[in-house]
Every structure is written in structure tokens, then in C-alpha cells.
């Protein structure tokens, strides 16, 4: 699966608007956007309605994004937090998934799941605990059920379609404790991570001794990213007692890769460093860790030097040092 990237729709950006409109027509026809008497809504009316959706962008808890693979738009997501006074059917303080679309040729590749996680993080960041949507196609219902949504038995008075609801999956960052050591050891002992991070062949017992020592080191800060109650990633910062701290380790469980967990962890590290009045943050990685390099560049980090350094296995390799001013 190719990596997704997202662009938030800006109502004054003509390219964003045209991409959104081009996908809204086939999406509307697929979901059966008809008048109450069953008459299909004309393309002209659909485009006017689409433009009204674009014009409403602006509030922090109303979120519309285009999803791209490379330079090709493959879908969109649109959600908002319901508040008293909003028009139409509302569930106050619920997250409402208003529109959600993946082009047919890009379905069954995991993109829809990633897009839903984007909306969940948006809702969670706005204090939302539960979300809902309506769906009127068998394929749509199958997807939402697979994502954990369940029918409420109610129909929306706006479109006479069944309402589905689901709790928002909360993502939290907590200090690493002894109880998390086994999770981190399993991350580091996987064949993929041992290769990507150039780790030595320590046993689980040796790793456990290292972590017990590291958790007591005041120069280090270790965190676990939780999705619900499930550990999803490990983040470690070094140099907290010195001048410029460094993200020395960020490892995401394979099950949660491409869900934005790595980007969230980097942002958390930045906020944590700011809390200690740090002016910048560093990251070092080997040149062959292309996925990590791309992640850091997208987050606004700049390569400040190329270098050779020894990682865990003791072998000298080409690498980069990244920096971001806070």
C-alpha cells in the first residue's frame, strides 16, 4: 500500500475546490443523493451544495481533507462536532462524519481505515467521546460495521437513512512504566525493527536490564503511545538535562503504522521539550531509514549535518542529524 498524505481543504484554494468537486459528483450518485420523492438531484444542484460545504470551512471543529496517493486524489473526509443551534438533525457534542469517500479503484487497500483514524484524532482532540454517521449502501454499511460502528435503530430525519454510532478511540501518551517493558522488548526483537534500527542481538533478559536502568535516568524521558488501552508505540528522548534534547528512539508497532501515530509522537515530544523551555529538538537517524527521514521532513525538520555514527550494533553508518526550532 502506498503512503497517504492529506491536505485540508481551503475554501479560497481553487485547486482544492476543484479536486473536491470532481469526486463529489460520483460519490453523490453512488450514495443515491435524491430528493425525498426519489428524483435524482441534478449535477448543477450537487455542485452548488458542494460549494456550500467548502464555504463553511473555518471553525476549528469542522474538518474537511483530501486524501492523496502521490499527486493523485483518491478520496476525502469531512466531519464536524455537533453543537446546539446547528441546522438539521444533531447529536450535541457528538462527532458527525458528514461525508467520506474512497474512489472505487483504491478500495480494499486499507486507506479507508487510515482516513477514519484521522477523523477520530480530530474528534478526540475536540473532546468528543462518541461519533455517528448515516449510510445507505450495502458496501458502505459493511465498511462501517467492520470499523466498529453499530446501528442505533434510528433513521435520520434529514435523509431517511439509518444512523450508526461508535465510541471515539482515544489516543494518549503516558510515561513508560515497568509494565510496558515487555511491549517495548517485543517491538525491538521483531525482525523488521531489528533490521531497520540496526539493533544488536540482545536477549529479552538483557533488554529488560537496560530498560530498568534507563527508566531511572534523569537525562531520559520514555513514553508509550496508547490507542485506547493498547500500546502502539514507544518514544524516547535524550538530553533532557542538557541544552538541546534529541528524539533518540521512536518505534511504532506494525499494526499501527500509517495511522499517524509516529507524527503524533513527534508532536508530543516537541510539546514536552517546550515545557522545559527548550528552544529546539534534534533527531538522528541512519541514511537508510527512508521512512523515518520522510516522516521527519514532513514534520518540518531540517537536516543540519550529515555524519557517520555507530548505532546499537556498533557498526559505523551514514546518517543525518535533523533539527527543528520550537
Q: What CATH number corresponds to the domain at position 319?
A: 3.40.630.30
Residues 115 and 243 in one domain: no
C-alpha cell of 16?
482544492
Query: What pLDDT, on the 0 to 100 scale, is given for residue 105?
Result: 96
Can you tell me the distance from the alpha carbon of 49 to that of 21, in angstroms, rounded to the nearest whole number? 10
Residues 179 and 302 in one domain: yes
Query: What pLDDT, on the 0 to 100 scale, is given for residue 250?
Result: 94
Angle between helices 14-30 and 43-55 (to 10 degrees): 130
Residue where a domain stops, chosen among 167, 197, 231: 167
Residues 188 and 97 in one domain: no
Residues 159 and 62 in one domain: yes
Taking residues 212-222, what's their average pLDDT?
88
* Number of domains, the chain: 2
Residue percentage of the chain with pLDDT more than 70: 97
Query: What pLDDT, on the 0 to 100 scale, is given for residue 1?
Result: 55
Can you tell me the distance from the alpha carbon of 207 to that of 154, in angstroms, rounded to the nearest whole number? 53
Q: Say whether pTM exceeds 0.85.
A: no
Residues 100 and 157 in one domain: yes
- Is residue 36 predicted with pLDDT exceeding 70? no
Residues 100 and 236 in one domain: no
Query: What pLDDT, on the 0 to 100 scale, is given for residue 2?
Result: 66
- Model confidence pLDDT, tens digit, residues 228-239: 788 999 999 999
Residues 162 and 179 in one domain: no
Paired residues of 126 in beta bridges: none
- Model confidence pLDDT, tens digit, residues 256-290: 876 778 888 998 999 999 999 999 999 999 999 98
Return the half-sphere exposure (C-beta side, CA atoms, 13 A cut-off) of residue 208: 9
Q: In what order do the strands lie in the sheet with 130-134?
A: 4-8, 62-69, 72-81, 95-102, 130-134, 162-167, 150-155
- Is residue 26 predicted with pLDDT exceeding 70? yes
Query: What pLDDT, on the 0 to 100 scale, is given for residue 228?
Result: 79
Taking residues 64-89, what's their average pLDDT?
90
Q: Which domain range does residue 82 map to?
A: 4-167
Contact assessment for residue 325 and residue 279, using Cβ atoms and an 8 Å cutoff: yes
- Model confidence pLDDT, tens digit, residues 109-165: 989 988 998 888 888 878 889 999 999 889 999 999 999 999 999 999 888 899 999
Q: Which residue from 69, 51, 54 is spatially nearest to 8, judged by alpha carbons? A: 54
Residues 145 and 191 in one domain: no
3-state secondary structure 247-310: EEEEEECHHHCCCCHHHHHHHHHHHHHHHCCCCEEEEEEECCCHHHHHHHHHCCCEEEEEEEEE
Tell me how far the alpha carbon of residue 131 is from its chain's centroid.
Answer: 17
Angle between helices 261-275 and 290-298 (to 10 degrees): 60
DSSP secondary structure letters along 196-262: HTT-----HHHHHHHHHHHTT-TT-EEEEEEETTEEEEEEEEE-TTSSS-EEEEEEE-GGGTTTTHH
Contact assessment for residue 205 and residue 181, using Cβ atoms and an 8 Å cutoff: no
Residues 282 and 138 in one domain: no
How many residues does this entry show for the chain? 326
Query: What pLDDT, on the 0 to 100 scale, is given for residue 183?
Result: 95
Amino acid at each position: 500500500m502506498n503512503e497517504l498524505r492529506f491536505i485540508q481543504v481551503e475554501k479560497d484554494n481553487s485547486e482544492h475546490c476543484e479536486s473536491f468537486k470532481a469526486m463529489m459528483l460520483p460519490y453523490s450518485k453512488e450514495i443515491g443523493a435524491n430528493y425525498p420523492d426519489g428524483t435524482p438531484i441534478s449535477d448543477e444542484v450537487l455542485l452548488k451544495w458542494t460549494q456550500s460545504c467548502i464555504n463553511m470551512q473555518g471553525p476549528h471543529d469542522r474538518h474537511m481533507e483530501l486524501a492523496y496517493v502521490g499527486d493523485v486524489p483518491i478520496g476525502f473526509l469531512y466531519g464536524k462536532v455537533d453543537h446546539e443551534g446547528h441546522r438539521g438533525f444533531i447529536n450535541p457534542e457528538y462527532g458527525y462524519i458528514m461525508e467520506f469517500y474512497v474512489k472505487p479503484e483504491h478500495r480494499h487497500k486499507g486507506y479507508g481505515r487510515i482516513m477514519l483514524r484521522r477523523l477520530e484524532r480530530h474528534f478526540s482532540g475536540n473532546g468528543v467521546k462518541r461519533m455517528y454517521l448515516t449510510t445507505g449502501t450495502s458496501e458502505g454499511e459493511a465498511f462501517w460495521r467492520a470499523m466498529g460502528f453499530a446501528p442505533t435503530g434510528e433513521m435520520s430525519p434529514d435523509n431517511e437513512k439509518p444512523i450508526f454510532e461508535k465510541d471515539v478511540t482515544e489516543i494518549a501518551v503516558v510515561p513508560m512504566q515497568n509494565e510496558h517493558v515487555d511491549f517495548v522488548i517485543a517491538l525491538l526483537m521483531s525482525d523488521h525493527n531489528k533490521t531497520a534500527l540496526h539493533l544488536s542481538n540482545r536477549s529479552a533478559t538483557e533488554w529488560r536490564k537496560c530498560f530498568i536502568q534507563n527508566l531511572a535516568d534523569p537525562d531520559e524521558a520514555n513514553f508509550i503511545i496508547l490507542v485506547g488501552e493498547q500500546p502502539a508505540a514507544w518514544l524516547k528522548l535524550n538530553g533532557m538535562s542538557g541544552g538541546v534534547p534529541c528524539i533518540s528512539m521512536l518505534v511504532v508497532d506494525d499494526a499501527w503504522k500509517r495511522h499517524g501515530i509516529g507524527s503524533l509522537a513527534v508532536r508530543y515530544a516537541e510539546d514536552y521539550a517546550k515545557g522545559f523551555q527548550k528552544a529546539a529538538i534534534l533527531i538522528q537517524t541512519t541514511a537508510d531509514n527512508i521512512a523515518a527521514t520522510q516522516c521527519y521532513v514532513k514534520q518540518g525538520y531540517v537536516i543540519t549535518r550529515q555524519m557517520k555514527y555507530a548505532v546499537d550494533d556498533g557498526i559505523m553508518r551514514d546518517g543525518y542529524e535533523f533539527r527543528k526550532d520550537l
